[in-house]
A and B are shown apart, each in its own frame.
Chain A
Amino acid sequence: MTGRTGKYVAFLRISFAQARHARGELYGRVVFFVVILGVFSSLWTAVAEAGMPLAVEPRAMVWYLAITEWIVLSAPPMHFDIQEAVRRGDIVCQLGRPVSWVGAAFAEGLGLLIARAPLLFATACACAAVFTGWVPPLRVLLVIAPLGMAACALVMALWIGIGLLAFWLGDVGPVSWVWQKLMFVFGGLLMPVELYPALVRRIAPFTPFPSVLSRPASLVLHENAGEAAALVLSLAGWGTITAVTLAFLFRRAAAALTVNGG
C-alpha cells in the first residue's frame, strides 16, 4: 500500500506492534473485566431473586453489560497520550512530519484497538456465557462485533477530541472525568437508556453516547435488523461530526501551540 493511505496504515501497524509488546495493560483489563462482570452478574441475579421487577431478564442484562464494558475497555484512552505529548513537548516530533496529525493519532488508536478488542470481546462472551449459562444466537454476536468495533473507534475519536483540549488546558483530567461520566449515564453503561428517567431519555439522543454504548449492546436484547441498519447510519453521522470537529479543534490548537520545555 502506498501514498497517503499507506502512511496511516503504517501508523496502525506500528501501534499494533507496540501494543503486542506491552501486554501487561491488556491482561490487566481482562482481569478487571472478569471481576466487573462477576460483580454485576451477582447483582442482577440478586435483584431478580429478591422479586424486584426487571424490564429485562437478568441474563440479558449481563450480556448487555458485557458488550458496553467491552466497548469502553477496548477504546484506547488517547487523551492521556496526547496530554503527555503536549506536556512533555514531544508533540514537536509528531508535528514535523508530512502527515495529518489527527489522522496519525486516529490510526495509532486503531492499532491499539485492534490489538486489544478481539481478546476483550472473547473475554466478554466467555464471562457472560459462564455467568449466565446462556449464549445469544451466533448471528447476533456476528453483527455486534463489527458494530461494536465501529463504536469503539468513535469513542476513541471522541477521546482524541478531549486530548486536543490539552493544547489549551494542559491537564484534561477533569474534563475527561466529566466526559466519561456523561458517557456512562447518557450511553447507558449499566442498563439500556430506555430504563432511565425521562429527562435522560430526552437528552441522550442529542449526544453520541447511545450510539456507542446502549444501541450496539441492545442488539443482544432484541434482534432487530432495522435497528442494526439505523445504528450504522447513526455511527456514520456521529463519525462525520466528530471528524469535522477534530479537524477544526486541531487547526485552532496548532495555531495556538506553545511547546513545553522550550
Chain B
Amino acid sequence: MVSRLRDFVRPQTHEVLAVDALSFSIRHGERVAFIGPNGAGKSTTLKMLAGILHPDSGEARVLGLVPSRQRRQLAFQLGTVFGQRSQLWYQLPPRDTFDLLSRVYEIEAVAHRRRIQSLTRLFELEPFLDTPVRQLSLGERMRCEIVASLLHGPRLLFLDEPTIGLDVSAKATIQALLRAESDRDAVTLLLTSHDTGDMEKICDRVIVISGGRLLWDGSIVDLRRRYITSKRVTIWSEIERLQLTIPGVRVITAAGYRTEFDVALDVTTVGHVVDAALKQGSVRDLAIEDAPLDAVIRALYATTHADIGTSGAADLPPSLKLQRTAEALAEAAQARTEERTAS
C-alpha cells in the first residue's frame, strides 16, 4: 500500500537504451534490410533518421541533412511507410489523400497528374482509386500507402514492416513493386521486416542489430556464407532407407525411398554425399538446399541473446560465434523436422 502510494506520488522510472553505438552508411540507390529481434531498436533508428525522434547523443546525417534539426527539408526527399500505421484518410478514396499530399509536398498540378498516372499504372491502383479506404483489402491499402509515400519522388524510402499481415500473394506483389520502383528511379530503400522474404526479394544488403547495437552489416550472400554451416540434401533412391556412414552427415528424415540428410560443410562436402549415394544404388532424384534465411537469422539472434545479452556480438571471437550458430542451426533443423513429422 505504502509502495503504491509512493509510486503514485513519485513514480519510479528507468531509462532504456534503445539505440547505442550504432554506425553505418548507405550509398545512393542501395536496398538495405534493417533487421533485428523485437525491441532491437529498428523502428527507433528509422524514426531518428526521419527526424521524428531526437537522439540524446550522436549524429545522423541523411542526404546531407541532420534529421532532428532539418526535418522539414528532409521530408521533401524522404518517403516513409509504416506498415502498422496509415496515412490514408479512412472514409475517403485514396485519390483524396494523394491530392492532399501533392499540396503538402508542393507538387505542381501537371507533375502530380503525371506522377499519379505512372504510379497507379505500376501499382495497379486504377480499380480502387476512387473507393473509400475503409472498403479496401489490406494488400490494396498497402499499395496505396506506398504510392502515397512515393508521390513526391523521394530519393530515400523508409519502410517499416511494409508487408505485415499480408497474404503471400499480396506480399509478393509489394516486394516486386518496391524493387521495380527502386530500379526505375534509383530510390534508396531502408526496410525493416521480420519477413526474410522481404529481405531476400527486395534487398541486397542486410544490417542486423540487437539491443540497439550492430551485429552484422554486409550482403545477404555473405550472411548466408558466413552463418550457414550445413546444407540439406534430399535423395530419392532406388533402394529403401538409404544409409550413408560419412562423418558430418546425419539423417534428418527417412521415409521409404526418400531420405533427407544434414551435411556439415566444415566436415565434408555435398559431392561426397552424392558420390556415396550413387555407389549404393541408382539415384532417381536429389535436391540440395541451403538452410532457410529464417534459420540463419534465428541463429544469429540466438547467438547474441544466449551469450552476450545486449553487449553486442561483435565482441565474440568468430570461432565461438560460429559454434553457437551451428548449434542453433541444428536446433532449428531439428525443430523443422519435428514439425514435418507431426504434420
Listed in ascending order, the chain A residues whose CB lies under 8 Å from chain B are 2-3, 6-7, 9-11, 13-14, 17-18, 21-22, 88-90, 92-99, 254-255, 257-259, 261-262
A3 to B, closest residue via Cβ: B106
Q: B39 within 8 Å of A by Cβ?
A: yes
Instruction: Give chain A residues whose Cβ lies under 8 Å from the Cβ of B99.
Output: 10, 14
Q: Does A90 contact B92, Cβ atoms closer than 8 Å?
A: no
Q: B87 within 8 Å of A by Cβ?
A: yes
Q: Does B80 contact A89, Cβ atoms closer than 8 Å?
A: no
Q: Does A7 contact B85, Cβ atoms closer than 8 Å?
A: no
Instruction: Give chain B residues whose Cβ lies under 8 Å from the Cβ of A93.
Output: 80, 82, 85-87
Instruction: Give chain A residues whose Cβ lies under 8 Å from the Cβ of B163.
Output: none
Report the bound CA distance from A10 to B99 in whole Å: 8
Q: Does A96 contact B75, Cβ atoms closer than 8 Å?
A: yes
Main SS at interface, chain A: helix
Report the bound CA distance from A97 to B52 in whole Å: 10
Q: Does A95 contact B52, Cβ atoms closer than 8 Å?
A: yes
Q: How far is the CB of B73 from chain A (nearest CB, A)?
A: 8
Report the bound CA distance from A152 to B221 in whole Å: 61
Q: B118 within 8 Å of A by Cβ?
A: no
**Which residue, A7, A17, A93, A254, has most C-beta atoms of chain B within 10 A?**
A93
Instruction: Give chain B residues whose Cβ lies under 8 Å from the Cβ of A259.
Output: 43, 47, 52-53
Q: Does B54 contact A255, Cβ atoms closer than 8 Å?
A: yes
Q: How far is the CB of B39 from chain A (nearest CB, A)?
A: 7
Report the bound CA distance from A9 to B86 in whole Å: 21
Q: How far is the CB of A85 from chain B (nearest CB, A)?
A: 9
B40 to A, closest residue via Cβ: A262
Known interface pairs A17-B92, A97-B75. Does A90 touch B85 (Cβ–Cβ under 8 Å)?
yes
B84 to A, closest residue via Cβ: A261
**Which residue, A88, A94, A262, has most C-beta atoms of chain B within 10 A?**
A262
Q: How far is the CB of B40 from chain A (nearest CB, A)?
A: 10
B101 to A, closest residue via Cβ: A97
Q: B287 within 8 Å of A by Cβ?
A: no
Q: Mark B38-80 against chain A: 1 for CB-CB distance below 8 A, else 0.
A: 1100111001001111100000000000000001110110101
B16 to A, closest residue via Cβ: A258
Q: How far is the CB of A15 from chain B (nearest CB, A)?
A: 8
Known interface pairs A22-B91, A98-B75. Does A92 touch B103 (Cβ–Cβ under 8 Å)?
no
Report the bound CA distance from A220 to B168 in whole Å: 64
Instruction: Give chain A residues whose Cβ lies under 8 Å from the Cβ of B71.
Output: 95-96
Partner of A262, one of B43, B50, B90: B43
**Which residue, A6, A21, A94, A98, has most C-beta atoms of chain B within 10 A?**
A98
Q: B89 within 8 Å of A by Cβ?
A: yes
19 A-B residue pairings within 8 Å (CB atoms): A2-B106, A7-B103, A9-B103, A10-B104, A14-B96, A18-B90, A21-B132, A22-B91, A89-B84, A92-B50, A96-B51, A96-B52, A96-B71, A97-B105, A257-B53, A259-B43, A259-B52, A259-B53, A262-B42
Q: Does A96 contact B92, Cβ atoms closer than 8 Å?
A: no
A93 to B, closest residue via Cβ: B87
Q: Does A92 contact B82, Cβ atoms closer than 8 Å?
A: yes
A262 to B, closest residue via Cβ: B43
Q: B100 within 8 Å of A by Cβ?
A: yes
- Beyond contacts A98-B72, A258-B53: 19 other A-B pairs, Cβ-Cβ < 8 A, are A2-B106, A3-B106, A7-B106, A13-B100, A14-B100, A17-B92, A17-B96, A18-B90, A18-B91, A21-B92, A21-B132, A22-B91, A92-B52, A93-B82, A93-B87, A95-B52, A98-B106, A99-B104, A262-B42
Q: B253 within 8 Å of A by Cβ?
A: no
Q: Does A14 contact B89, Cβ atoms closer than 8 Å?
A: yes
